[in-house]
């Protein structure tokens, strides 16, 4: 597992701009492999079969090692590469974007095409859900009722998401801790509860916090 936080497309979206009567329609979808990207591109080309151009760009891998783009008949370097540049500039991973162009009868020139394709991608991104995926480990914390308030305060202070809390004769809290915060969190809780808390660490996972809830990958 790559020990770094990455931004990924969690939920794809669409965006559209009009430039001198030409329509530029962007569609984005999460992908992890070249095969998934090509399948998505093929679906978009089938859906917009009557369009003059279906240009695309995609990037995948924790280090963006897979990168592809296509101008699909537009002048060289005016569509695919500028679209890919938007994805790389935003430091995004694991997504594909297709921008469909319906020609409006007026030539835009190379600069106009570059701007239009990039604006279409940006509009699509605005209508998508981007999340941060990071490495971490689930942790269970056992404490008595005297320590719960202090632990909740420390968790909030360090922005650690609580997944579950079980109240019996003691309190068991299950949290998801980013890899880089584990040591500091254990030390803070041990000090804050005078060593009255016990810890159990689960296996490493990748996770993201979406609408206040933990999503494991």
Domain extents for the chain? 6-127, 135-216
Q: In this predicted structure, what is the pLDDT of residue 161? A: 86
- SS3 sequence, 51-107? CCEEEEEEEECCCCCEEEEECCCCCCCCCHHHHHHHHHHCCEECEEEEEEEECCCCC
User: Which tokens sit at 164?
Assistant: 């579950």
Residue in this structure with the two tokens 């008595």, named with its chain if needed:
144
User: Which tokens sit at 211?
Assistant: 């609408």
d(CA 8, CA 161): 20
d(CA 83, CA 74): 13
pLDDT tens string, the chain, 217 residues long: the values are: 456 899 999 999 999 999 999 999 999 999 999 999 999 999 999 999 999 999 999 999 989 999 999 999 999 999 999 999 999 999 999 999 999 999 998 899 999 999 999 999 999 999 999 999 999 999 999 999 988 999 999 999 999 989 999 999 999 999 999 999 999 999 999 999 999 899 999 999 999 988 888 999 8
CATH class for the region spanning 135-216: alpha beta
CATH of 6-127, one of 3.20.10.10, 3.30.230.30, 3.40.50.11540, 3.40.50.150: 3.30.230.30
The whole model's pTM is what?
Answer: 0.83
Contact 135, 206 (CB under 8 A): yes
Mapping DSSP to helix (H, G, I), strand (E, B) and coil, where does residue 211 land?
A: coil
Mapping DSSP to helix (H, G, I), strand (E, B) and coil, where does residue 22 land?
A: strand
Q: Which residues share a beta bridge with 208?
A: 215
Cα torsion 31, 36, 38, 41 to 10°: value is -60
d(CA 73, CA 115): 17
């Amino acid at each position: 597992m790559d020990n770094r936080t990455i931004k990924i497309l969690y939920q794809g979206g669409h965006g559209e701009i009009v430039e001198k009567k030409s329509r530029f329609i962007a569609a984005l979808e999460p992908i992890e492999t070249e095969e998934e990207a090509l399948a998505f591109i093929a679906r978009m080309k089938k859906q917009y079969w009557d369009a003059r151009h279906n240009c695309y760009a995609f990037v995948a891998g924790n280090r963006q090692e897979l990168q592809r783009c296509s101008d699909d008949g537009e002048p060289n370097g005016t569509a695919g590469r500028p679209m890919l540049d938007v994805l790389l500039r935003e430091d995004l991973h694991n997504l594909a974007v297709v921008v469909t162009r319906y020609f409006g009868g007026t030539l835009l020139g190379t600069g106009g095409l570059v701007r239009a394709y990039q604006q279409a991608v940006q509009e699509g991104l605005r209508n998508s859900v981007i999340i941060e995926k990071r490495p971490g480990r689930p942790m269970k914390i056992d404490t008595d009722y005297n320590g719960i308030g202090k632990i909740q305060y420390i968790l909030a202070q360090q922005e650690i998401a609580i997944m579950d809390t079980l109240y019996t004769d003691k309190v068991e809290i299950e949290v998801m801790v980013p890899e880089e915060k584990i040591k500091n969190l254990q030390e803070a809780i041990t000090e804050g509860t005078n060593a009255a808390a016990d810890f159990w660490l689960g296996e490493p996972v990748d996770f993201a916090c979406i609408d206040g809830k933990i999503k494991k990958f």
